[in-house]
């Protein structure tokens, strides 16, 4: 094994990313206050029970919405199908917590629906007949409509790459459409569906904003509460450990399923273009109705709700320093993107050049950071800094470094880096997999050094991947809530934190303005990348 | 002793932790020589090229180029500092540059006065029409030619071509072989070519190395490799003859049960009375309808300019015989086929 500079750089990047994960595992063995006993006998069961109910509800709903939409737009021709193909991914722009605000605002007593009834039918006792979507049901709906896009995108890609031959095979065997769907189409897309559901499950278990808004005690809110309310970092880490075990299980299911999904996709040589079935008027109307309903409920509804409040309460728009929030958000986006892209490049190239198995294992371990909820990462980061400060910095009588890392942009960007490292690393890795190793070797043989090969061959070739990664990071950072909330500097707000703070103070109409901006910015970036997202 | 231009001294070539080819010693005495390495797929030919290029390391022996050790147990000159070009079998063109830019990158480090005319290379490799295309827009054969062009214009001290014409159309192949040989000879580029096509190797190389069973079995000029193979393995690999049992009866003759007396010059002497295996190549025997030595035809292969008949002896040995395709008549399977006697073979190869 050769310990050159590429090896060391790549090792350091992966190691830094792995620190919080190691911290969570290490802190499982720490002693905590007696809250652990209290929680073990009372709340812990509730945390786990609520988390599982939430998970089950979300999985059922996202499975139905995601596979249903993917099937309809992949196999049928009806008015608006091209529009829905990309419009349905706009739901990615709406974080579950903003969906939760919209849901509450629309259906609450004297809320938007009440106002609509009042303006249509005059004053009346409508509140009793308006259903209330709060508590667990509200959380399931909010998270499902925000996340079904994962199942939709992966299943649609799988359906898209299913060869027409497969469909024709079913016809030749005399299968009905119904039988073809359940015997051929669905089984061959199963790995993609499982991968999508595993992602949904990870995000659901990680969700903080929506569940805390609806006051549901899950493992994630438990971690936040035990740290904020009980000031017991060790117990927060122990809860994290339980959650992490569960999430890592899902992470591996997702990874295995994704690999299987690749086998189900055709290789070089292309696919026989699928013939879409043209629906007659009534069936076409039904298909259109289904897609439009999902689009309306998942995207238009929260946007219109936020827009409605922004218009009827214009004061909130003018009171809010939107420009500053925009600058803050973009500042974080820019710093995170630059850091992530640079270090992912170093790590990818280091892995490629050194061909070290150890480095490869370390990187695989470190990219599990994506599966770790933001709350856990933030808490683990603080734990690590506190331990490092006590064990080394103070021991040698240096000034504390806590302020440098906690409550600072620097610390925030580091944790963003850890959280979204797998997004950047895997994005570049996918690009790198398309570069045959003999291309590197040709470059060396033409007299190019490793750094010149990296800068002159790889970087220009991967510029599209970098662009795509940059935008995906942007969307994630704009929506990110718990890490920003825990680690942001004093008086430093983003659209996400502003919306959360207003909402947590029951000022939903004030939360509308930052929420609306957040959705609009994220939507713009999603539209830019829709071509790539739908492709893979 | 004068320094050889290139030399491999007792090197074992390793790929993926496994020994592929052991204890290889080989030298190219003069600059501008072309050497071909022949062997079946997966035997380690590419590993040898990759190791010479510096893409793999060695832990035994040494490799010298122009009097400088470039690889040994303790020395490893990085690939970018060897001035060795390797044209890979698979497409190794830079995907984001068009073909012209790809080719020109090859000549970047060459001094102007030493440059091979890029245009000349582009013309003879018939690349004019694809210069503005990108690697993903061209065929495998075109990519291979473009890669070859890039290597040629880089004017390396040592050029190595891994199956350079394997994807090139047959109709175009011979034309390219002629021009490739011409340009390599004119520009005095020392070249090692790996191929599994013996005709290509025999035409292009001034020397040929046969790699079999993890070792370099024979390294000689093409005529000798073909006519004077040094082992049964080489005979079997070249698949150009058959071995029949015979007994040495004098310093210039031997006796076979089916063919009778065979005279000629022994390549390696054997004591009289020795039981040997005699190599019979298709051109060793001649057809004669009037001969009383008749064998049964079991197969007939038409090869354009000639036929190769496979004949069965009374002892069930199969013997190939070459006949010009303009021969006055043809023999069908199961017919009898006359062999001219007495049989005389210029070089008698026995094992």
Closest residue in B to A440 (Cα–Cα): B92
Average pLDDT estimate for B37-61: 90
pLDDT of res. A301: 93
Domain match, B250 and B230 both? no
Residues of A in contact with B55 (CB under 8 A): 441, 444
Are B190 and B271 in the same domain?
no
pLDDT > 50? residue A268: no
Nearest-Cα distance to chain A for B341, in Å, is 56
CB B323 within 8 A of CB B307: yes
For residues B270 and A432, what is the distance between their CA atoms, to the nearest angstrom?
61
pLDDT tier, B275 (very low <50, low <70, confident <90, very high otherwise): very high
CB atoms closer than 10 angstroms to residue A53? 15
Nearest C-alpha in B relative to A355: B16
Those residues whose C-beta lies under 8 Å from the C-beta of residue B53, and which sit 6 or more positions away, are A441, A445, B79, B82, B84, B86, B160
pLDDT top residue among A452 and B239: A452
Give the per-residue pLDDT at A269. Answer: 43
- Comparison of pLDDT for A144 and A46, the residue scoring more: A144
Counting residues of chain A whose pLDDT is more than 70, the rounded percentage is 90
Same domain, B165 and B123: yes
Spell out which residues of chain B touch residue A465, defining contact as CB-CB under 8 Å. none
Radius of gyration of chain B, Cα coordinates, nearest whole angstrom: 24
Partner-chain contact A461 B91, CB within 8 Å: no
**Which chain A residues are Cβ-neighbours of B92 within 8 angstroms?**
436, 438-439, 441-442
- Do B208 and B321 share a domain, yes or no? no
- Give a yes or no: residue B1 inside a domain: no
Let me know if residue B85 belongs to a domain: yes
CB contact under 8 A, B95 and A445: no
ipTM above 0.90, yes or no: no
Residue at which a domain ends, from B234, B256, B280: B234
Interface with A, mutate which of B54, B80, B82 (most A CBs under 10 A): B80
Contact status of B93 with chain A (Cβ, < 8 Å):
yes
Substitution target in A438, A439, A463, A467 with the highest count of B β-carbons within 10 Å is A438
Range of the domain at B337: 241-348
Chain B residues with CB under 8 Å of A447 CB are: 80-81, 83, 108-109, 154
Nearest CA in chain B to A437: B92
Chain A partners of B108 at a C-beta cutoff of 8 Å?
446-447
CB distance from B84 to chain A under 8 Å?
yes
Give the minimum alpha-carbon distance from A457 to chain B in angstroms, rounded to a whole number.
Answer: 7
* pLDDT at A64 (0 to 100): 94
Give domain status of residue B195, yes or no: yes
Asked if residue B97 is part of any domain, the answer here is: yes
Average pLDDT over residues A396-400: 78
Q: What is residue B131's predicted lDDT score, i.e. its pLDDT? A: 92
Is residue A248 predicted with pLDDT exceeding 80? no
B218 and B265 both lie in a single domain: no
Tokens read off for A358: 């150890």
Which whole number is the average pLDDT over A15-23?
80
Q: Domain of B268: which CATH number?
A: 2.40.50.140
Per-residue pLDDT band at A258 (split at 50, 70, 90): low
Residues B174 and B321 in one domain: no
Measured between CB atoms, does B107 come within 8 Å of chain A? Answer: no
- At A179-228, the pLDDT tens digits run 777 777 888 788 888 878 888 888 888 888 899 889 898 888 888 777 77
User: Does B104 touch chain A if contact means CB atoms closer than 8 Å?
Assistant: no
The pLDDT, as a whole number, for residue A526 is 86
- Do the Cβ atoms of A448 and B80 come within 8 Å? yes
Give pLDDT, residue A124.
80
Instruction: Find the mean pLDDT for residues B74-86.
Output: 89
Closest CA to A361 of A4, A11, A5, A8: A11
pLDDT tens-place string over residues B241-257: 888 899 999 989 999 88
Structure tokens at A226: 């035990």
A442 CB neighbours in chain B (<8 A) are: 86, 88, 92-94, 147, 150
**Mean pLDDT in chain B?**
87
- Domain edge (last residue) among B214, B234, B254: B234
Do B219 and B100 lie in one domain? The reply is: yes
Q: Does residue B113 form part of some domain?
A: yes
Q: What is the mean pLDDT of residues B189-213?
A: 91
Whether the pLDDT of residue B1 is over 50: the answer is no
- The model's pTM is 0.74
Residue A442 and residue B53: Cβ atoms within 8 Å? Answer: no
Residue B82 lies in a domain: yes
DSSP B117: -
Q: Is residue B330 part of a domain?
A: yes
Verify that B230 and B246 share a domain, yes or no. no
CATH of the domain at B61: 3.40.50.300
CB contact under 8 Å between A449 and B80, yes or no, is yes
A394-405: average pLDDT: 80
For A61-75, what is the mean pLDDT?
92
Q: Do B201 and B114 share a structural domain?
A: yes
Give the closest of B54, B92, B109 to A442, CB-based.
B92
Co-location of B151 and B36 in the same domain:
yes
The string of pLDDT tens digits covering residues A338-390 is 999 998 888 888 888 887 888 888 887 777 767 777 887 888 888 888 888 88
pLDDT at residue B160, as a whole number: 92
Domain assignment present for B206: yes
Last residue in a domain, options B203, B234, B265: B234
Domains contained in chain B, number: 2
End-to-end Cα distance, chain A: 35
Give yes or no for a contact between A127 and A108, defined as CB atoms under 8 angstroms apart: no
My answer on whether B186 and B247 are in the same domain is no
Helices (H), A177-320: 177-180, 186-206, 209-213, 219-228, 233-264, 281-295, 301-312, 314-319
Query: What's the whole-number mean pLDDT along residues B333-349?
Result: 87
Does B212 share its domain with B327? Answer: no
A406-453 confidence digits (pLDDT tens) = 889 999 999 999 888 888 888 888 788 878 888 888 898 888 888 888
């Amino acid at each position: 094994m050769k310990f050159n500079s590429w090896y060391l750089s790549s090792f350091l990047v992966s190691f830094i990313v792995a620190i919080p994960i190691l911290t969570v595992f290490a802190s499982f063995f720490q002693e905590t206050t007696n809250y652990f006993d209290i929680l073990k006998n009372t709340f812990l069961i509730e945390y786990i029970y609520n988390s599982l109910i939430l998970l089950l509800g979300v999985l059922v709903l996202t499975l139905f919405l995601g596979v249903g939409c993917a099937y309809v737009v992949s196999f049928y021709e009806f008015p608006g199908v091209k529009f829905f193909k990309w419009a349905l991914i706009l739901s990615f722009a709406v974080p579950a917590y903003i969906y939760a605000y919209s849901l509450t605002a629309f259906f609450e007593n004297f809320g938007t629906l009440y106002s609509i009834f009042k303006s249509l039918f005059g004053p009346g006792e409508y509140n009793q007949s308006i259903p209330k979507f709060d508590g667990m049901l509200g959380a399931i709906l909010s998270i499902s409509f925000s996340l079904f896009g994962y199942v939709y995108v992966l299943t649609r890609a799988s359906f898209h790459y299913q060869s027409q031959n497969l469909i024709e095979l079913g016809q030749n065997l005399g299968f009905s459409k119904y039988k073809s769907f359940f015997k051929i189409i669905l089984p061959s897309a199963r790995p993609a569906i499982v991968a999508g559901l595993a992602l949904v499950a990870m995000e659901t278990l990680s969700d903080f904003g929506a569940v805390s808004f609806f006051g549901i005690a899950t493992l994630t809110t438990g971690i936040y509460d035990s740290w904020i309310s009980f000031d017991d970092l060790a117990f927060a880490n122990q809860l994290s450990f339980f959650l992490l075990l569960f999430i890592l299980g899902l992470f591996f299911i997702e990874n295995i399923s994704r690999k299987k999904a690749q086998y189900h996709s055709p290789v070089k040589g292309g696919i026989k273009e699928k013939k879409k079935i043209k629906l007659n008027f009534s069936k076409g109307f039904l298909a259109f109705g289904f897609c439009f309903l999902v689009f309306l409920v998942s995207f238009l509804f929260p946007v219109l709700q936020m827009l409605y409040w922004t218009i009827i309460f214009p004061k909130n728009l003018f009171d809010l320093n939107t420009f500053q929030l925009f600058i803050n958000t973009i500042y974080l986006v820019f710093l995170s993107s630059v850091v992530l892209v640079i270090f992912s490049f170093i790590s990818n190239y280091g892995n490629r050049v050194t061909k070290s198995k150890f480095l490869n294992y370390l990187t695989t371990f470190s990219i599990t950071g994506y599966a770790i909820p933001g709350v856990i990462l933030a808490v683990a980061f603080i734990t690590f800094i506190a331990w490092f400060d006590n064990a080394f910095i103070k021991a040698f009588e240096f000034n504390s470094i806590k302020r440098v890392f906690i409550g600072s942009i620097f610390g925030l960007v580091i944790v963003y880096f850890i959280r979204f490292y797998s997004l950047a690393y895997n994005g570049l890795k996918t690009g790198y997999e398309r570069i045959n190793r003999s291309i590197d070797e040709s470059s060396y043989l033409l007299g190019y050094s490793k750094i010149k090969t990296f800068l002159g061959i790889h970087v220009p070739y991967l510029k599209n991947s970098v662009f795509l990664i940059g935008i995906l990071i942007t969307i994630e950072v704009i929506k990110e809530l718990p890490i920003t909330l825990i680690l942001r500097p004093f008086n430093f707000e983003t659209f996400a934190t502003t919306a959360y703070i207003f909402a947590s103070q029951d000022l939903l109409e004030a939360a509308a303005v930052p929420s609306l901006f957040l959705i609009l910015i994220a939507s713009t970036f999603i539209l830019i990348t829709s071509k790539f997202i739908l492709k893979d | 002793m004068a320094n050889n231009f290139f030399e491999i001294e007792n090197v074992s070539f390793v790929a993926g932790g496994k020994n592929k080819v052991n204890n290889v010693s080989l030298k190219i005495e003069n600059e501008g020589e072309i050497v071909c390495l022949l062997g079946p797929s997966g035997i380690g030919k590419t590993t040898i090229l990759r190791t010479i290029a510096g893409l793999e390391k060695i832990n035994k022996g040494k490799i010298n180029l122009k009097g400088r050790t470039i690889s040994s147990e303790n020395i490893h000159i990085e690939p970018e500092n060897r001035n060795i070009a390797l044209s890979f079998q698979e497409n190794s063109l830079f995907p984001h540059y068009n073909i012209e830019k790809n080719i020109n990158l090859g000549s970047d480090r060459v001094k102007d006065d030493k440059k091979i005319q890029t245009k000349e290379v582009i013309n003879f490799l018939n690349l004019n029409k694809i210069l503005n295309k990108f690697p993903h827009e061209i065929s495998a054969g075109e990519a291979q030619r473009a890669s070859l062009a890039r290597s040629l214009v880089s004017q390396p001290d040592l050029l190595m071509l891994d199956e350079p014409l394997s994807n090139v159309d047959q109709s175009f192949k011979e034309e390219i072989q002629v021009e490739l040989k011409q340009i390599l000879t004119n520009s005095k580029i020392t070249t090692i070519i790996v191929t599994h096509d013996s005709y290509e190797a025999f035409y292009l190389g001034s020397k040929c190395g046969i790699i079999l069973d993890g070792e370099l079995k024979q390294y000689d000029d093409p005529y000798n490799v073909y006519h004077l193979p040094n082992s049964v393995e080489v005979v079997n690999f070249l698949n150009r003859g058959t071995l029949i049992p015979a007994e040495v009866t004098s310093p210039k003759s031997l006796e076979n049960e089916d063919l009778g007396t065979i005279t000629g010059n022994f390549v390696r002497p054997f004591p009289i009375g020795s039981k040997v295996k005699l190599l019979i190549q298709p051109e060793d025997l001649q057809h004669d309808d009037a001969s009383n030595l008749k064998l049964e035809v079991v197969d007939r292969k038409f090869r354009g300019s000639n036929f190769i008949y496979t004949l069965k002896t009374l002892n069930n040995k199969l013997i190939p015989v070459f006949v010009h395709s303009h021969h006055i008549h043809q023999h069908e399977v199961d017919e009898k086929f006359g062999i001219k006697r007495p049989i005389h073979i210029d070089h008698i190869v026995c094992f």
